[in-house]
Protein backbone atom coordinates (compact mmCIF):
# COMPACT_ATOMS: atom_id res chain seq x y z
CA UNK A 1 0.00 0.00 0.00
CA UNK A 2 1.28 3.48 -0.82
CA UNK A 3 2.50 5.56 2.12
CA UNK A 4 -0.24 8.09 3.08
CA UNK A 5 2.26 10.63 4.43
CA UNK A 6 4.32 10.48 1.24
CA UNK A 7 1.15 10.82 -0.84
CA UNK A 8 0.13 13.89 1.18
CA UNK A 9 3.57 15.46 0.71
CA UNK A 10 3.41 14.84 -3.04
CA UNK A 11 -0.04 16.40 -3.13
CA UNK A 12 1.22 19.46 -1.22
CA UNK A 13 4.13 19.91 -3.64
CA UNK A 14 1.75 19.62 -6.61
CA UNK A 15 -0.65 22.16 -5.07
CA UNK A 16 2.21 24.63 -4.58
CA UNK A 17 3.33 24.16 -8.19
CA UNK A 18 -0.18 24.59 -9.61
CA UNK A 19 -1.12 27.64 -7.50
CA UNK A 20 2.25 29.35 -7.21
CA UNK A 21 1.64 29.68 -3.46
CA UNK A 22 3.12 27.83 -0.53
CA UNK A 23 0.90 25.70 1.68
CA UNK A 24 1.41 28.24 4.49
CA UNK A 25 0.25 31.06 2.16
CA UNK A 26 -2.82 29.02 1.21
CA UNK A 27 -3.63 28.27 4.85
CA UNK A 28 -3.29 31.98 5.68
CA UNK A 29 -5.57 32.85 2.77
CA UNK A 30 -8.23 30.50 4.15
CA UNK A 31 -7.79 31.66 7.74
CA UNK A 32 -8.06 35.33 6.69
CA UNK A 33 -11.05 34.76 4.39
CA UNK A 34 -13.61 34.98 7.19
CA UNK A 35 -15.13 31.70 6.05
CA UNK A 36 -15.69 28.98 8.62
CA UNK A 37 -17.71 26.26 6.89
CA UNK A 38 -15.69 23.59 5.13
CA UNK A 39 -17.84 23.63 1.98
CA UNK A 40 -17.56 27.42 1.68
CA UNK A 41 -13.77 27.22 1.98
CA UNK A 42 -13.55 24.51 -0.69
CA UNK A 43 -15.81 26.53 -3.00
CA UNK A 44 -13.70 29.66 -2.51
CA UNK A 45 -10.43 27.83 -3.25
CA UNK A 46 -11.92 26.26 -6.36
CA UNK A 47 -13.37 29.50 -7.72
CA UNK A 48 -10.61 31.93 -6.70
CA UNK A 49 -7.59 29.74 -7.41
CA UNK A 50 -8.95 27.22 -9.88
CA UNK A 51 -8.05 24.34 -7.58
CA UNK A 52 -9.50 20.88 -8.09
CA UNK A 53 -11.89 19.54 -5.48
CA UNK A 54 -9.40 17.14 -3.87
CA UNK A 55 -6.70 19.80 -3.51
CA UNK A 56 -9.16 22.38 -2.17
CA UNK A 57 -10.54 19.83 0.29
CA UNK A 58 -7.04 19.03 1.59
CA UNK A 59 -6.09 22.69 2.03
CA UNK A 60 -9.41 23.37 3.79
CA UNK A 61 -8.70 20.56 6.25
CA UNK A 62 -5.16 21.74 6.89
CA UNK A 63 -6.22 25.36 7.36
CA UNK A 64 -9.14 24.53 9.66
CA UNK A 65 -6.97 22.23 11.77
CA UNK A 66 -4.18 24.83 11.89
CA UNK A 67 -1.65 22.49 10.34
CA UNK A 68 -2.81 19.32 12.04
CA UNK A 69 -3.46 16.72 9.39
CA UNK A 70 -6.95 15.41 9.07
CA UNK A 71 -7.69 12.19 10.95
CA UNK A 72 -7.83 10.29 7.66
CA UNK A 73 -4.09 10.85 7.17
CA UNK A 74 -3.18 8.29 9.83
CA UNK A 75 -0.78 5.42 9.22
CA UNK A 76 -3.60 3.38 7.72
CA UNK A 77 -6.61 5.41 6.60
CA UNK A 78 -8.79 2.29 6.67
CA UNK A 79 -8.48 2.36 10.47
CA UNK A 80 -10.35 5.68 10.42
CA UNK A 81 -12.92 4.82 7.75
CA UNK A 82 -13.98 1.41 9.02
CA UNK A 83 -14.97 1.81 12.65
CA UNK A 84 -18.16 1.00 14.52
CA UNK A 85 -20.96 -0.28 12.32
CA UNK A 86 -18.77 0.14 9.21
CA UNK A 87 -16.00 -2.16 10.53
CA UNK A 88 -17.58 -5.17 8.84
CA UNK A 89 -17.16 -3.48 5.45
CA UNK A 90 -13.36 -3.25 5.61
CA UNK A 91 -12.78 -6.64 3.88
CA UNK A 92 -14.49 -5.22 0.78
CA UNK A 93 -12.07 -2.29 0.65
CA UNK A 94 -9.13 -4.62 1.29
CA UNK A 95 -10.21 -6.92 -1.54
CA UNK A 96 -10.40 -3.93 -3.89
CA UNK A 97 -6.92 -2.89 -2.72
CA UNK A 98 -5.61 -6.36 -3.54
CA UNK A 99 -6.75 -5.74 -7.12
CA UNK A 100 -4.95 -2.37 -7.14
CA UNK A 101 -1.73 -3.88 -5.79
CA UNK A 102 -1.55 -6.06 -8.90
CA UNK A 103 -1.50 -2.97 -11.12
CA UNK A 104 1.79 -1.35 -9.99
CA UNK A 105 2.53 2.10 -8.59
CA UNK A 106 -0.12 4.60 -7.58
CA UNK A 107 -0.62 7.30 -4.96
CA UNK A 108 -3.14 7.08 -2.16
CA UNK A 109 -4.77 10.29 -0.91
CA UNK A 110 -6.89 9.71 2.21
CA UNK A 111 -9.93 11.95 2.52
CA UNK A 112 -12.46 12.26 5.32
CA UNK A 113 -14.94 9.67 3.98
CA UNK A 114 -13.01 7.75 1.32
CA UNK A 115 -9.55 7.14 -0.12
CA UNK A 116 -8.59 8.53 -3.51
CA UNK A 117 -6.23 6.50 -5.70
CA UNK A 118 -4.28 8.31 -8.40
CA UNK A 119 -1.53 8.21 -10.94
CA UNK A 120 -1.19 11.46 -12.89
CA UNK A 121 -4.88 11.95 -12.01
CA UNK A 122 -7.43 10.21 -9.82
CA UNK A 123 -8.58 6.92 -11.30
CA UNK A 124 -10.58 5.49 -8.38
CA UNK A 125 -12.02 6.30 -4.99
CA UNK A 126 -13.15 3.77 -2.42
CA UNK A 127 -15.05 4.27 0.80
CA UNK A 128 -18.01 3.23 2.92
CA UNK A 129 -21.08 5.01 1.53
CA UNK A 130 -23.37 3.72 4.29
CA UNK A 131 -23.10 1.31 7.23
CA UNK A 132 -23.92 -1.53 4.83
CA UNK A 133 -22.25 -0.57 1.54
CA UNK A 134 -18.84 0.32 0.08
CA UNK A 135 -18.69 2.30 -3.13
CA UNK A 136 -15.99 2.25 -5.77
CA UNK A 137 -15.88 5.35 -7.94
CA UNK A 138 -14.14 4.97 -11.29
CA UNK A 139 -12.76 7.83 -13.38
CA UNK A 140 -12.77 6.65 -16.96
CA UNK A 141 -14.68 8.07 -19.90
CA UNK A 142 -16.25 4.84 -21.09
CA UNK A 143 -16.68 1.27 -19.89
CA UNK A 144 -18.77 -1.53 -21.40
CA UNK A 145 -22.35 -1.40 -20.15
CA UNK A 146 -23.12 -3.50 -17.09
CA UNK A 147 -26.03 -3.48 -14.65
CA UNK A 148 -23.43 -3.18 -11.88
CA UNK A 149 -22.01 0.09 -13.24
CA UNK A 150 -23.93 3.24 -12.37
CA UNK A 151 -23.00 6.10 -14.72
CA UNK A 152 -22.72 9.43 -12.94
CA UNK A 153 -23.79 12.78 -14.34
CA UNK A 154 -21.55 15.56 -15.54
CA UNK A 155 -19.63 17.36 -12.82
CA UNK A 156 -19.36 14.36 -10.52
CA UNK A 157 -16.01 13.28 -9.10
CA UNK A 158 -16.26 9.88 -10.86
CA UNK A 159 -17.81 8.74 -14.13
CA UNK A 160 -19.07 5.44 -12.66
CA UNK A 161 -19.96 3.99 -9.25
CA UNK A 162 -20.05 0.33 -8.28
CA UNK A 163 -21.74 -0.68 -5.01
CA UNK A 164 -20.57 -3.59 -2.83
CA UNK A 165 -22.11 -5.31 0.17
CA UNK A 166 -19.86 -8.40 0.13
CA UNK A 167 -16.15 -8.98 -0.67
CA UNK A 168 -17.16 -11.77 -3.08
CA UNK A 169 -18.62 -9.10 -5.37
CA UNK A 170 -15.05 -7.97 -6.16
CA UNK A 171 -14.53 -10.25 -9.14
CA UNK A 172 -12.73 -10.37 -12.50
CA UNK A 173 -15.18 -7.87 -14.02
CA UNK A 174 -14.39 -5.31 -11.28
CA UNK A 175 -10.66 -6.01 -11.66
CA UNK A 176 -10.93 -5.26 -15.39
CA UNK A 177 -12.73 -1.96 -14.69
CA UNK A 178 -10.06 -0.97 -12.15
CA UNK A 179 -7.29 -1.80 -14.62
CA UNK A 180 -8.96 0.20 -17.39
CA UNK A 181 -9.37 3.24 -15.10
CA UNK A 182 -5.77 2.84 -13.86
CA UNK A 183 -4.43 2.66 -17.42
CA UNK A 184 -6.42 5.72 -18.52
CA UNK A 185 -4.95 7.80 -15.66
CA UNK A 186 -1.37 7.02 -16.74
Task: Report DSSP state, residue 69.
Answer: P
Q: Are residues 132 and 51 in the same domain?
A: no
Residue 72, SS3 per DSSP: helix
Q: Are residues 16 and 60 in the same domain?
A: yes
- Among 47, 69, 91, the domain boundary falls at 69
pLDDT digits (tens, 9 = 90+) for 81-102: 998 999 999 999 999 999 988 8
Q: Are residues 92 and 155 in the same domain?
A: yes
Per-residue model confidence (pLDDT) at position 3: 53
Per-residue model confidence (pLDDT) at position 60: 84
Tally of structural domains, the chain: 2
Q: Are residues 48 and 85 in the same domain?
A: no
Task: Report DSSP state, residue 160.
Answer: E
Q: Are residues 179 and 112 in the same domain?
A: yes
How much is the pTM? 0.62
Q: Are residues 50 and 83 in the same domain?
A: no
- Cα–Cα distance, 15 to 55 (Å, whole number): 7
pLDDT digits (tens, 9 = 90+) for 42-54: 899 989 999 887 7
Q: Are residues 148 and 116 in the same domain?
A: yes
- Among 43, 69, 95, the domain boundary falls at 69
Task: Report DSSP state, residue 105.
Answer: -
Per-residue model confidence (pLDDT) at position 159: 93
Q: How confident is the model at residue 64 (pLDDT cuts 50, 70, 90)?
A: confident
Q: How confident is the model at residue 65 (pLDDT cuts 50, 70, 90)?
A: low
Among residues 159, 149, 175, which one has the least CA distance to residue 97? 175
pLDDT digits (tens, 9 = 90+) for 105-130: 888 888 889 999 988 889 999 999 99
Full domain range(s) for residue 111: 77-184
Report which of residues 117 and 55 the model is more confident about. Answer: 117
- 1 has pLDDT over 80: no
Other CB atoms within 10 Å distance of the CB of residue 181 = 25
Q: Are residues 65 and 84 in the same domain?
A: no
- Cα–Cα distance, 49 to 171 (Å, whole number): 41
Residue 151, SS3 per DSSP: strand
Q: Are residues 33 and 84 in the same domain?
A: no
Mean pLDDT of 169-178: 96
Q: Are residues 95 and 174 in the same domain?
A: yes
Q: Are residues 51 and 106 in the same domain?
A: no
- Among 24, 48, 69, the domain boundary falls at 69
Question: Burial level of 21, CB count in 10 A (0-12/13-18/19+)?
Answer: middle
Amino acid sequence: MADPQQALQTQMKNIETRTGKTVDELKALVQNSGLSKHGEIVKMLKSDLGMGHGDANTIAHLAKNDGVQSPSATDNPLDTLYVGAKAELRPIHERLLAQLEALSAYEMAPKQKYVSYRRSKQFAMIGPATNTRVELGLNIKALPESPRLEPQGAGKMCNYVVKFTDPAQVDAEVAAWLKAAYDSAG
